[in-house]
Structure 1
């Protein structure tokens, strides 16, 4: 294979751009023919270097024309591998991954739908951890609040049952406050034991196509608006073990990100993300490039081992500049070819 045709969705998202940056720091960077998609024209990655060969505005994932549109783009551009850059698209892309493979021989780098559902539905996450004897904070649906209060007391954590990019998450200290802050139907809200700790990690483990763990990288982080804004990569052995125990039980395709807190010395996971994350570029900088590993293993059947260096990072605001004529062409046509 000469050029590698890569499609990354979510050109307007932090996650999508992080995947792109990891890709362009990989050993394959000179061989990439890059195609980007986004649900509207305001995707900074459309205009940031390296410039994509083609950019497409596509329907939102829940639109019935989304999958046919994506299949057509993959076939037209002979896409070899597709990376999802938004949480919103992973259901449809995972559910239809066989269609992409048969339609255009495109590998969709997502786990199967059962794994996606476990990671996205926090009640199913809890049930998965219980079934596999893994540590996890006690979790109930909203209507069972008294059961949880009797078991763990206050404070407790209230959050959406389905992944929500860190919106509507509350620390609750009384029943009155709980009732007052109900933000959705009761079967769409979960309550959890509050993990009272300032030590929070996001940990990525990569599993190859044969089910072998190729590496794990822990990152102690500081959060803002649901994103890791700064952090330190270390070698916490206990944290690594818990993440690998989760990965062995879950059996994802490629990366899985485990969020946990260390409470009285014990790492306790509280969430899993069965996808690439917004810190892929940070990990890649320190040698742990899951995007590169995906191409090596899932496209070229290479056996891989992921190592990393320790270090620290912080994020800051930056600007995106572009010529108005390119933007106007994208808006008018729904695509841009360079």
Structure 2
């Protein structure tokens, strides 16, 4: 059976890999965005124009669009809608629409950086010291993604909706993790971020890092995850690891995680739809990713 799989924010520069992964797995990619003039709609099999996040009828309209377009699976990727999707997982499953996302309690912890910090501290996960006051040199929004709104040594600023955090030095890693329907991490793929643009990875290399594996397994034991998630950490100059963020969703740089293992779209269908037990393949350590622009011409 071919499933119709919806991807969010298909106007992103990194959305192409996910659409191609859906197609490579033998399914139908349905792009979506609030803008109908985007490249994603032309490489996917279908396109849905979505309501804006601030639309008071957002979820009524969204549910109608899913049913009218016979969507089988949604892979959320937009931070602003993650909690809304999570809260509707069970309702939509009754309609045979599967939302590939962790439960609301997990999403709430991960999308609020202060809540993430408190979780790390309670679970004994090493993390930079943080405060709701302007105590540390790094200031960033409690809710947000990428590098948007992040300030270093800004001088006095309003801390409404912000946290301050100890500024780390060392090597930055992004860890792609795939958790099955039992919330067990099937793949843990650390990748060293070689190049970053606007908070998105444009180059990286997969690294065999036992200490990161150990800590990520502990994170997954302490909080229930479903499907693809993305964890940010630093290897400090003394060799220790400190964790900053958990993105409880698919991420733009996961193209490298897919390439170094297997197509995670097939994993999603096997564990969440067909309820198969997953057997991981060997991770291709040392695999490197480089990104470049491509063009679509529309007559």
1:284 and 2:265 correspond: no
Give SS of 1:247's match: helix
Q: Which residue of 1 aligns with 2:155?
A: 178
The answer for unaligned runs of 5 or more in structure 2 is: none
Q: TM-score, normalised by structure 1?
A: 0.82
What SS does the aligned partner of 1:35 have?
Answer: strand
Secondary structure of the 1:284 match is helix
Instruction: Give per-residue Cα distances to partners, 1:40-71, cap 9 Å, x unaligned.
Output: 113211012xx41x312111123222222221
Q: Name the SS for the 1:178 alignment partner.
A: coil
Identify which of structures 1 and 2 has the higher relative contact order when contacts are C-alpha pairs closer than 8 Å and 6+ apart: 1
Question: Among 237, 241, 252, which residue is 1:267 paired with?
Answer: 241
The change in CA–CA distance for 1:79 and 1:111 in structure 2 (over 3 A counts) is: same
Which of 105, 108, 129 is equivalent to 1:117?
Answer: 108
User: What is the Cα deviation at residue 15 of structure 1?
Assistant: 4.9
Q: TM-score when scaled to structure 2?
A: 0.92
Q: For 2:22 and 2:50, how far apart are their aligned partners in 1?
A: 22
Matched, 1:76 2:68: yes
SS in 2 for 1:255: strand
Matched, 1:250 2:223: yes
Give the match for residue 42 of structure 1.
37
Note if contact 1:160-1:168 (Cα within 8 Å) is conserved in structure 2.
yes
1:1-338 matches, cutoff 5 A: 2-25=1-24, 28-29=25-26, 32-48=27-43, 51-52=44-45, 54-102=46-94, 104-143=95-134, 145=135, 156-172=137-153, 177-179=154-156, 182=157, 185-197=158-170, 199-221=171-193, 222-263=195-236, 264-307=238-281, 308-310=283-285, 311-323=287-299
1:322 is displaced (CA, Å) by 1.8
- Distance of aligned partners of 1:289 and 1:267 in 2 relative to their CA distance in 1, 3 Å threshold: farther
Aligned residues: 295
3-state SS in 2 of match to 1:295:
helix
Check conservation: 1:5, 1:35, Cα contact below 8 A.
yes
